[in-house]
Structure 1
Amino acid sequence: MPGPSKRIAVAGGTGGIGSHVVEGLLEIKEKHSLHIIVLSRSSKPDVIYAGAAAPVIATDYNNVHTIEQVLREHDIDTVISTIVDTVPSSFKAVQQRLLDAALNVPSVRRFAPSEFAVDSEKLQSTVVFYQSKALIVQSLRKVREYNKDFEFIKFSCGLFMNYFAYGNPKPDGGKAHGHLRQFPFVIDISKGTADVPGDGNHKFCYTTAEDVGRFTAAATQLETWSEDGTMAGDFRTINEIIQMAERVTGKTFDVKYNTEDDLLARMNPNPESAMTNFYLEVLLGMIRGECDQGAELNKLTNVKPTSVESFLQAWWGN
């Protein structure tokens, strides 16, 4: 039956983006009387945020029965996967076992696979790792064919705005990254450089990890879920962001513009893993228009996200 989520399990909720999703849910826990649990590969203390708490339950993702027991015990109706595994075969297997366990529990009626970036199905032809992400979406569509009451959503947030804070000089500058690892994606403001896919004039979606958590939490309270879980903090061209960064910092940036051939020439022809060429593959997907998305959750929720300009001012301004 449709209706807002009430009892939510976040798999991988002690990781980077998973922590932000849990914090987003804890912000609204009391208002909506939510029961939230966090599944993790190892035992950890409860997650405490905004005056609310969620227990962390050590879970063996290799055992469908073990996952199922946890979901049954807590009468879970919604499973959100934020699991990260850079080995495609194990990533695919873990998510499938999570879904199989959820389908064995009558109370579960909603499932969100581990997307939380650019739509994996759009990028799967270019980004090798995303092929393993797209497989679970195909499984979810098959479930929908025979169970019309089952809902799933792809949470797509574009590119993480937090990466623009890399190397910022603020005393508390590390907070700008939230729970994400520090990484200068395309634009390294600290060095005044940019490694741009294409001519820099195409608009892309940028969202802070904190806003991703808030959008996700707000989406759990929608009466129904469609597959489209796109969200956006801002839509900007890379050239616009470079110009903003130059104004805020007073630097003149050294900008390299890359063609498809430039990026292909930089790739390792004998990659050791699916992640070896990941960064360059994403840039290639950006050139090919495979990173475009909408902002459906902006229209359906009351989340007021951070803009790129306000983010740059906060972490690079005087």
Structure 2
Amino acid sequence: MTAMRIAVAGTCGLAWAISQEIQEQTSHQLLILSRFPQPGLISRGYQCLTVDYNNLESLKHSLMGVDTVISTVTGTPQLRLIEAAVAQRVRRFAPAEFEGSPSLRAVGDPLDRGKAEALRVLHHYSGYIQSTVFTCGILYERFAVGGLAGQQIGINSGFANEGDYILDARNMTAQAPVYDSANNLATLCLTSAYDVGRFVVRALDMAQWPSELTMCGERVTVSTLIDIVKQCRGREFPHVQWHNPDTLRYELTLAQLASDFPKQTRLYALIATAEGRYDFAQPAYLNAQFPDIQPESFRNWFARNWAPVP
């Protein structure tokens, strides 16, 4: 395929996984956009530009000659980035989604973080710039030592710390959205950041991007997820709170009455899980398109990540 100039906005763990894959596995020219200077990356041969998301002209200048932008920044900075990309006639833009399908988000979703507005703007400019949503379910790294925050991912999401989502593998506690509203076992898709990077980079060479591109490392029930962690840790979960959406909403009401905003955010994420927001039909589109990519299983990833922790 023809070499392209690809801009990755952000330097979080997910952005790094994508950037490293582009740099090491393709002939595309990589440009990393960062709010702060990155001398360490530059010394390793990466091209980095320090950008000011409040300065549209600066952003436009940074995107000169860029074919595709992959964003891991959210909120107003991402809106400015889209505006600059349209102005510079960038061909493709992938917004900072990388979770469940946007079609399952309710209007006014408290976990939105400006993502719906970014999709609205991209739809508005669809005659000028092509876009897709990369849907990967839950990142394995939510269950990493240090959580997502330890990888500098989703720090402002409100549930990025170790133990914030479903289970605390260090202390072996869990608040598990095991059932959906019909009392069936709740299911979710999970993918490692490394495998997200591999799928995203392979998608760069696709002739056309549909509105959504799904990928999946593994699809499991929440109860199976807890069992895997229990087996890998060799320890029991002595205190597991088993939930369905109704019990979670009751917990949410109590958190609202107590003005406990951090707990509210964590409960919103659990309710979304129980309602199937992070689940999608198999086979995932990119898995089917690129069968040579064999994602790592959650069990292997988790066992390796937690091996040094007593």
Q: What TM-score bracket applies, with the shorter chain setting the length?
A: 0.7 to 0.9
Matched, 1:95 2:84: no
2:72 maps to which residue? Answer: 82
In 2, the alpha carbon distance for the partners of 1:33 and 1:128 equals 40
1:138 maps to which residue? Answer: 120
In 2, the alpha carbon distance for the partners of 1:61 and 1:76 equals 17
1:24 maps to which residue? Answer: 21
2:95 maps to which residue? Answer: 113
| Per-residue deviation, residues 199-249 of structure 1 (Å, max 9, x unmatched) | 382221011111111211111122221112211110001111222233333
1:280 maps to which residue? Answer: 267
Q: Letter of the aligned partner of 2:141 in structure 1?
A: N
CA RMSD of aligned residues (A): 2.9
Identify if the C-alpha distance between structure 1 residues 125 and 262 changes in structure 2 by more than 3 Å, giving closer, same or farther: farther
Residue aligned with 2:280, SS = coil
Question: So what's the TM-score if we normalise by structure 2?
Answer: 0.82
2:137 maps to which residue? Answer: 158
In 2, the alpha carbon distance for the partners of 1:218 and 1:113 equals 17
Contact 1:125–1:131 (Cα < 8 Å) also in 2: no
| Structure 2 unpaired stretches of 5+ | 154-159
Contact 1:46–1:53 (Cα < 8 Å) also in 2: no
Question: So what's the TM-score if we normalise by structure 1?
Answer: 0.80
1:298 maps to which residue? Answer: 287
1:170 maps to which residue? Answer: none
Contact 1:41–1:60 (Cα < 8 Å) also in 2: yes
Contact 2:232–2:299 (Cα < 8 Å) also in 1: no
User: How far is the alpha carbon of 1:5 from its aligned partner?
Assistant: 6.5
In 2, the alpha carbon distance for the partners of 1:7 and 1:240 equals 42
Moved over 4 A (4+): 177-182, 270-276
1:148-297 counterparts in 2 under 5 A?
Answer: 150-166=129-145, 180=153, 183-184=162-163, 185-199=165-179, 201-253=185-237, 254-267=239-252, 268-269=255-256, 277-294=264-281, 295-297=284-286
User: How far is the alpha carbon of 1:198 from its aligned partner?
Assistant: 3.7
Residue identity over aligned pairs, in percent, reads 29
In 1, the alpha carbon distance for the partners of 2:260 and 2:3 equals 37
Q: Letter of the aligned partner of 1:217 in structure 2?
A: V
User: How far is the alpha carbon of 1:306 from its aligned partner?
Assistant: 0.9
The number of aligned residues is 290
Moved more, 289-298 or 109-118: 289-298
In 2, the alpha carbon distance for the partners of 1:272 and 1:16 equals 32
Moved more, 127-136 or 279-288: 127-136
| Structure 1 unpaired stretches of 5+ | 85-90, 168-173
Q: Letter of the aligned partner of 2:100 in structure 1?
A: V
Identify if the C-alpha distance between structure 1 residues 293 and 4 changes in structure 2 by more than 3 Å, giving closer, same or farther: farther
Q: Letter of the aligned partner of 1:259 in structure 2?
A: N
Contact 1:62–1:97 (Cα < 8 Å) also in 2: yes
In 1, the alpha carbon distance for the partners of 2:37 and 2:224 equals 44
User: How far is the alpha carbon of 1:192 from its aligned partner?
Assistant: 2.2
1:62 maps to which residue? Answer: 54
Q: Letter of the aligned partner of 1:23 in structure 2?
A: Q
In 1, the alpha carbon distance for the partners of 2:260 and 2:71 equals 23
In 2, the alpha carbon distance for the partners of 1:5 and 1:299 equals 24
Contact 1:126–1:281 (Cα < 8 Å) also in 2: no
User: How far is the alpha carbon of 1:182 from its aligned partner?
Assistant: 5.1
Q: Letter of the aligned partner of 1:39 in structure 2?
A: L
User: How far is the alpha carbon of 1:96 from its aligned partner?
Assistant: 1.8
Contact 2:186–2:275 (Cα < 8 Å) also in 1: no
In 2, the alpha carbon distance for the partners of 1:25 and 1:127 equals 33
Residue aligned with 1:269, SS = helix
In 1, the alpha carbon distance for the partners of 2:261 and 2:55 equals 25
User: How far is the alpha carbon of 1:59 from its aligned partner?
Assistant: 0.7
Identify if the C-alpha distance between structure 1 residues 273 and 155 changes in structure 2 by more than 3 Å, giving closer, same or farther: farther
| Per-residue deviation, residues 15-57 of structure 1 (Å, max 9, x unmatched) | 23222221222221xxx321111111122225379xx732221
1:10 maps to which residue? Answer: 8
User: How far is the alpha carbon of 1:125 from its aligned partner?
Assistant: 3.9
